[in-house]
Structure 1
Amino acid sequence: MTLKYYQDNAQTFFDGTVKVDMSSLYETFTKHLAPGARVLDAGCGSGRDAKAFQEMGYQVEAFDASSAMVELAREYTGLPVQLMTFADVEWKEKFDGIWCCASLLHVPAVELSDVMRRLADALKPDGVWYVSFKYGDGEREVDGRRFTDMDEGRLRTLTREIKELDIFELWMTKDKRPQRNEVWVNSLLKK
């Protein structure tokens, strides 16, 4: 369902997200990274964030599950964006930072622990991981996309299941897109 949405609406989604100013979130994440660090943009969508990190001098890898989004992200970033899902993640301690901006929210709650474990395994010790979810406490479908919403308690519970991860920052933001007024829960995790 969600994948079909992005396949069918890739250009519209790209156009609506690629120019959104995420600089305040980048600063919060990158202040914990060494120059030239290796960063994974997991569920990269338009490639906006992968391109920003590349322009900051980081070694960036990116993937998305939608082949249409992958093509647009490759064109936009010039990076070899991979076509894969979270279930395909098999890296071991490869990345200094992982960026999951509005991507994990599409994973069904029942699968989220396994996906988080896979991504935690891909993070190097002392690595930093940014995650964001729409604020809430359930699962829902909206216009052909499924969402797993999080609040502070649910995110803390989920993170506690992976003992080597700690939440070291947790905050709320308003949607960065001017026409939207949703609230997001954001977190930085440390391995």
Structure 2
Amino acid sequence: MYLPAGVMTLDYYQQQADAFFAATVSVDMTSLYQRFLPRVSKGGHIVDAGCGSGRDSRHFAGQGYRVTAFDASPALVQKARDYTGLPVACHDFMALHCQPPADAIWACASLLHVPENELAGVLAHLATQLKTGGVLYCSFKYGRGEVERHGRRFTDMNEQGLAQWLEVLPLTIAESWQTADLRPGREQETWLNALLKKESD
């Protein structure tokens, strides 16, 4: 998850870390990995941006990729460290600095917590941390605009909205698609998934 301008979303994850970890750590993400990993060179550097439980970081590391993971919630960072054995960092998107730039960034259900008026700046910063030709995966709850759901802020997104955000950035949509939520009992929720390619510095 990502710490937005307010503390509401962070408070949610701090208070619900155990429940969130339990609900997400075992979700089968194979269908998403199959679209993302073929675009990353073997053994390449993947940043798990807003890693939550550490589920995806653990998978990528197990496949031989070099993984940098971070999250804004101290409670989730500790759980991800315990689960992955990786030195998961505690910070937000804007504190990410990769030298040399990463091969890929995985932002699964994390950018959706960035306030809409900050999203362009966050995407621009992430683009600077990605090598030319690198790929950024992101996912949003499907729709448009900012909403509050059960103590968390979300910026919903559809294909047209994402394309508009990218107009002034060195990122292009390589692929986008909709999926149902992969968590049991949440199948009625629709997500927008996108693979963004960095075209230039």
Above 0.5 in TM-score? Answer: yes
Among candidates 68, 74, 91, match of residue 67 of structure 1: 74
Q: Deviations over 1:1-24 (max 9, x none)?
A: 000000000010000000000011
* Correspondence for 2:17 among 5, 10, 15: 10
> How many residues of Structure 1 are paired with residues of Structure 2 in the alignment?
190
Q: For 1:126 and 1:176, how far apart are their aligned partners in 2?
A: 29
2:88 aligned to which of 81, 86, 97? 81
Correspondent of 1:182 among 177, 189, 195: 189
1:102 to 106, 109, 120: 109
Contact 1:138 1:149 in 2 (8 A): yes
Cα distance in 2 for partners of 1:176, 1:158 equals 26
**How far 1:126 sits from its partner (Å)?**
0.6
Q: 1:131 aligns with which of 125, 129, 138?
A: 138
Which residue, 166, 176, 183 being the options, matches 1:170? 176
Taking structure 1 as the reference length, what is the TM-score of the superposition? Answer: 0.97
Structure 2 letter corresponding to 1:14? F
CA distance in 1, matches of 2:82, 2:99: 28
Q: Distance in 2 between matches of 1:36 and 1:155?
A: 29
3-state SS of paired residue (1:178): coil
Gaps of 5+ in 1: none
CA contact (8 A) 1:92 1:123 kept: no
CA distance in 1 between partners of 2:122 and 2:150 (Å)? 24
Residue 23 (str. 1) matches residue 21 (str. 2): no
- Residue 173 of structure 1: CA displacement? 0.3
Partners of 1:171 and 1:186 lie apart in 2 by: 5
**Unaligned regions of 5+ residues in structure 2, if any?**
1-7
Q: CA deviation at 1:89?
A: 2.2
Quick one: distance in 2 between partners of 1:87 and 1:4? 20
RMSD: 0.9
SS at match of 1:125: strand
| 3-state SS in 1 of match to 2:19 | helix
SS in 2 for 1:46: coil
Match of 1:55 among 52, 59, 62: 62
> Residue 161 of structure 1: CA displacement?
2.2
